Structure 1
Amino acid sequence: MEEYKKRIVKTIQYINENLDADLSLERIAEISAYSPFHFHRIFKLITGETLQNYIIRKKIEKSAFLLAMYKEIEIKEIYLDLGFSNHSVFTKTFKKYYGVPPSQFRNSAPDQFHKILQTQSKNGQVDTVFSQYICSIENLLNWTKMNLKIEVKEMPEMNLAAVMSLGIVNVEPSYNVLIDWAKKKNLFPRENVKMISVYHDSFKVTPPDKVRIHACMLLDEKLKGIEGEVFSETIDAGKFIVGRGEVTLNDFEQAWVSLFLWMNEHNYSMRRTFPFEVYHSNFKEHPEGKMIVDFCIPIH
């Protein structure tokens, strides 16, 4: 199973970085070094969905992110870049996932002030609806002032060892895999070790059980190659909004929402890369389950 996961990690990375390229079963199987037949079965076993469903879902999720975050981009440009043949096909596929056509989605998703909730309808179909956060913008800003110290700063390149998890519930097991690997390398425990979670999907457009989160450890040097489930990841140097606070796990969603709100209030825009969290303490060692966390948003 470890070798399967290693190859699937490689192919998932390729798919997500090449959504506008040839993603036929034959091409992806070639990347994974499996026959198309075996790859298809292994992929579904590990990810819980077929390759075709995964690719379509990722394309639609990326289009949803672009529609919400980059409103200056024409809808036609978005769907053509992602390989949809025409507006009708794109709209029909998009509506299947989000319940509304792309133009309505864009108009109903003002920046970070809404989130998508999955609700089960009476006939068993999953409908996607928009729901405003309970907290008002004013309350979110007040929460930010009370709980986060925010600064904009340049950060250096970070070389990471990473383990992929699909779904929020699988993050802790992924960290366990990472720590076991690090212990064998004498990289853990050590003073000032930094653990980092990198979000490769947004909870705004991806169901919680399919959000891709990389459980990472900061390294002094770049990791070469893939070692079991552990692979190399790099966070490029650049400008970031960093919100630091002592929070519980229940505060994370509010922290992210309020930080994106702060970003919009101060006229920053997010770079097309991934936000991440840096942990400076362990909530399991705090009597109230609190930990010191940096919430980091890459910006222009």
Structure 2
Amino acid sequence: MTEEYQKRINAVFEFIDTNLDNELSLEIVAQIACYSPFHFHRIFKMITNETLNQYIIRKKIEKAASLLLHKKELTITSIVHQLGFTSNAVFTRTFKNYYHQSPSNFKKTHLHKFSKISQIDSKNSQQMESYETYICNLMNLKNFTTMHAKIEIKELATQPYAYVTHIGVEGLEKAFQKIIQWCTPKQILENNRSKIIRVFHDSFKITNPDKVRMSIGVTLTETIAVNGDINIGHLQKGKYIVGRYELLIEDLEKAWTGLFIWMNENGYKKADYNPFEVYHNDFNKHPEKKAILDLYIPVEYYFN
């Protein structure tokens, strides 16, 4: 895979993310990548291990799952129309292929749950936690947040960042190394205002870990030229819940889950843009191997 291929596919990822409500034919998307439809189809599958159609359908269903979780005022019919499915029946059948239950049952089952939602194999069955176990886990996560997090609400201005794309949980360390190697000779991190970040374009709660797309990057304080598979993105302007943590990397999932619980219990609602992490140290150099970082959750509004 060449750097040029990855750069053009990054543009496609961004285009699809912002146009899931519109027509996304092979011809239209191939134009964004500046390839012929035939050539683009082959490159896209090589990079994502999915055909374009498979990728778009998965992203639509995952967006539907996110809307069911975070936009309880929306009806299933309105989601069907918004995402361009031909009928409720087609949407329900496709949704069941991913989550093995109907959209309405999914909404009832997972609306207040904090654990990951599994896209499980059809040969297996989902095991539901007992109520007692659920409450125990909930309390443990709330206690973890109380003990380890300093939480604030912040207004963030639009922030540019340089990044490399990474898909899945394998090989993450190499992605971090790559962005650090890129910015070291440019002395980007020496001004103390630029930070290493990880932006989540998918949610581990609704997307299989091997398909979660992330941007591993560094925030920028000035315009800078990029090349190869380094791209420029922008953190969205808006209001964020920010949790400051000092923890072991293996506790990151616990921290994220606890922060989302805090969001729900304090009346905030997730906005439709991407959460991210900001790193303040190299945890490998910490005496206890702990990362000092901020977790950012975008929020839409506050309600009583």
Q: Normalising by structure 2, report the TM-score.
A: 0.91
Do structure 1's residue 55 and structure 2's residue 63 form an aligned pair? no
Unaligned runs of 5+ in 1: none
Distance (whole Å) between structure 1 residues aligned to residue 267 and residue 170 of structure 2: 34
Q: Which amino acid aligns with 1:279?
A: Y
C-alpha contact 1:168 1:213 (8 A) present in aligned 2: no
The residue number in structure 2 matching 1:261 is 261
Distance (whole Å) between structure 1 residues aligned to residue 273 and residue 28 of structure 2: 25
* Cα offset, 1:115, TM superposition: 1.8
The residue number in structure 1 matching 2:100 is 99
**1:77–1:120 distance in 2 versus 1, CA, 3 Å:** closer
Distance (whole Å) between structure 1 residues aligned to residue 3 and residue 128 of structure 2: 39
The residue number in structure 2 matching 1:282 is 282
C-alpha contact 2:201 2:274 (8 A) present in aligned 1: yes
Q: Which amino acid aligns with 1:227?
A: N
C-alpha contact 2:197 2:217 (8 A) present in aligned 1: yes
Q: Which amino acid aligns with 1:100?
A: Q
- After TM superposition, the structure 1 = structure 2 runs for residues 34-73 of structure 1, keeping only pairs within 5 Å, are 34-73=35-74
* Cα offset, 1:108, TM superposition: 0.7
Q: Which amino acid aligns with 1:142?
A: N
CA RMSD between the two structures: 2.0
Distance (whole Å) between structure 2 residues aligned to residue 247 and residue 276 of structure 1: 16
> 1:158-203 deviations in whole A, cap 9, x for unaligned?
2111111111223322222222322353425554541111111111
- After TM superposition, the structure 1 = structure 2 runs for residues 197-212 of structure 1, keeping only pairs within 5 Å, are 197-212=198-213
SS in 2 for 1:209: helix
C-alpha contact 1:246 1:291 (8 A) present in aligned 2: yes
> 1:187-232 deviations in whole A, cap 9, x for unaligned?
25554541111111111110001001111101012456x6211111
The residue number in structure 2 matching 1:17 is 18
Q: Which amino acid aligns with 2:297?
A: I
Distance (whole Å) between structure 2 residues aligned to residue 78 and residue 104 of structure 1: 15
The residue number in structure 2 matching 1:297 is 297
> 1:38-78 deviations in whole A, cap 9, x for unaligned?
11111111111111100000000000000111110111111
The residue number in structure 2 matching 1:146 is 147
C-alpha contact 2:98 2:119 (8 A) present in aligned 1: no
Distance (whole Å) between structure 1 residues aligned to residue 115 and residue 109 of structure 2: 8
Between the two proteins, the alignment pairs up a number of residues equal to 296
Unaligned runs of 5+ in 2: none
Q: Which amino acid aligns with 2:204?
A: F
C-alpha contact 1:115 1:131 (8 A) present in aligned 2: no
Larger mean Cα displacement after TM superposition, 91-100 or 183-192: 183-192
Q: Normalising by structure 1, report the TM-score.
A: 0.92
The residue number in structure 2 matching 1:111 is 112
Do structure 1's residue 176 and structure 2's residue 174 form an aligned pair? no
Larger mean Cα displacement after TM superposition, 111-120 or 49-58: 111-120
> 1:253-285 deviations in whole A, cap 9, x for unaligned?
110111111111111111111111111111111
Q: Percent identity?
A: 46
The residue number in structure 2 matching 1:85 is 86
Q: Which amino acid aligns with 1:147?
A: H
Distance (whole Å) between structure 2 residues aligned to residue 131 and residue 203 of structure 1: 19
* Cα offset, 1:99, TM superposition: 0.3
C-alpha contact 1:68 1:110 (8 A) present in aligned 2: yes
SS in 2 for 1:117: coil
**1:60–1:279 distance in 2 versus 1, CA, 3 Å:** same
Q: Which amino acid aligns with 2:279?
A: Y
Distance (whole Å) between structure 2 residues aligned to residue 127 and residue 174 of structure 1: 35
